[in-house]
Chains A and B, each alone.
Chain A
């Protein structure tokens, strides 16, 4: 029997991380911004049918970058987790924190145990209640690393540049229109092009809505919100 090649664990992890990072860097980016009435999610996504942003539960949204089939799997697992938990306890007991932890565990396990790591980053956002509740944004990386972000978050190919841009330009408690325009500018910070409503997928977790806070912004409304920019 031939001896298996020896690869040091350190090297193996390095290779996997590089592989995952390369996969993610190929994809387009997503930004998330806190604004006056909740949380805004903006993705560069020319498809109107294959979503990168979606609803998980009453106050919780999901966003994923990287390989579609991989983050789609994670998205559905998240909806299942939330719906079963909400059904067996109460709707108020479903939290982004528990879900983010589950994602972190799942991605961590896949990264260490599988030959091929998931080439994804996911984001879980939960909007606080209207009377001063705090928003929560969790960003989970391909290896299970979890970070909680404040004010804004970015992931995908140009995340570092976008984050730098938002650090300089983000202001708290802006309106939806201003936040959206800032988000779109952030997405184009490394590219020499303008994004129209056809290149964008936008959704908000809207504090002012009843029970289900998640709301997609359709292209017509989007072009109106962006209109003042051009």
Chain B
């Protein structure tokens, strides 16, 4: 029987994928793996510290605003937290250029799937897809252009916030409470280890998150702290059942001020 005439129609699951579409129809638009050389020796801008923290209503994502190239500040106001769809976000760390490109591709991928299928991917599906995209970047990662995002979102089926971290090979690891990525991540994690509590309300979670970012900025030269002179403050987003929300700059400024005042009073900076 000539089954080939219609069998391929059942293989169209790949047709809902934007990445597959680019690979097939417009390969020149695919983020290209770096060719030859050792990009590790070139100081490309790197995103530094991003954090995801689980709290009562979902997940908070936050990042400092600095991009660092070697010992230089490459940018003071980049955003590292990207909305990937209504119920999830990506925080990028690593080589800023490829990372932002990956965030944009991932966002298009999720929207494309949603429009074609008329339905959202599950949070698990989204997390796996991002892992595959990081794996695509492996060759570039070996040359110093590694991209290691954090992915967090609200799982509608389970009714909880969830977060995932990745390694440069696309390996995906779910974290239950909090995680951080980037050059200041160890300091941020140390801070969160002491401050994080189960089922924190939003305001407390916001405070804990900013404490961790300020600690990271304090210890890591690549991470930027709150900049009162220029009025640049960390990016903070919340992801809950009701969607991807902004935390206003005024509120972030107020909490940062309060944290720093408390530290001034205690007299040891921490």
Contact = CB atoms under 8 A, between A and B. Distances in A.
B29 interface: yes
A84 interface: yes
B111 A83 contact: yes
A84 B115 contact: no
A130 interface: no
A51 interface: yes
A79 B115 contact: yes
Interface string A143-158: 0000000000000000
Contacts of A80: 21, 25
Interface string A69-92: 000000010011001101110000
B118 interface: yes
Nearest to B107: A87
Given A83-B108, A84-B21, A84-B22, A54 B115 contact: yes
A84 B105 contact: no
A90 B15 CA distance: 23
A153 B134 CA distance: 46
Contacts of A55: 115
Nearest to B108: A87
Contacts of A88: 26, 29
Interface in B103-122: 104-105, 108, 111-112, 115-116, 118
A198 B29 CA distance: 43
A40 interface: no
Given A76-B15, A80-B21, A86 B108 contact: yes
Contact of A84 (B25, B104, B116, B118): B25
Interface residues of A, number: 13
Interface majority SS (helix, strand, loop, mixed), chain B: helix
B111 A84 contact: no
Interface majority SS (helix, strand, loop, mixed), chain A: helix
- Which of B21, B29, B115, B118 has most chain A Cβ within 10 Å? B115
Contacts of A76: 15, 116
- Which of B25, B29, B112 has most chain A Cβ within 10 Å? B112
A140 to B, nearest CB: 19
Contact of B118 (A54, A56, A86): A54
A87 B29 contact: yes
A51 B22 CA distance: 26
Interface string B2-33: 00000000000001001001100110010000
- Which of A55, A84, A87 has most chain B Cβ within 10 Å? A87
Nearest to A88: B29
Interface residues of B, number: 15
A51 B117 CA distance: 11
Contacts of A51: 118
Contacts of B118: 49, 51, 54
Contact of B18 (A49, A54, A56, A83): A83
A93 to B, nearest CB: 14
B105 A87 contact: yes
Contacts of A56: 115
A51 B111 CA distance: 17
Contacts of B116: 76, 79
B112 A83 contact: yes
Contacts of A79: 112, 115-116
Nearest to B15: A76
A80 B118 CA distance: 14
A15 to B, nearest CB: 27
A55 B114 CA distance: 10
A87 B105 CA distance: 8
A86 B105 CA distance: 11
Contacts of B108: 83, 86-87
A86 B107 CA distance: 12
Contacts of A87: 18, 22, 29, 104-105, 108
Interface string B29-56: 1000000000000000000000000000
A130 to B, nearest CB: 20
Interface of A: 49, 51, 54-56, 76, 79-80, 83-84, 86-88
Which 5 pairs, one residue from A and one from B, show the smallest C-beta to C-beta distance? A79-B115, A83-B112, A87-B108, A88-B29, A55-B115
20 contacts: A49-B118, A51-B118, A54-B115, A55-B115, A56-B115, A76-B116, A79-B112, A79-B115, A79-B116, A80-B21, A80-B25, A83-B18, A83-B115, A84-B22, A84-B25, A84-B26, A87-B22, A87-B105, A87-B108, A88-B26
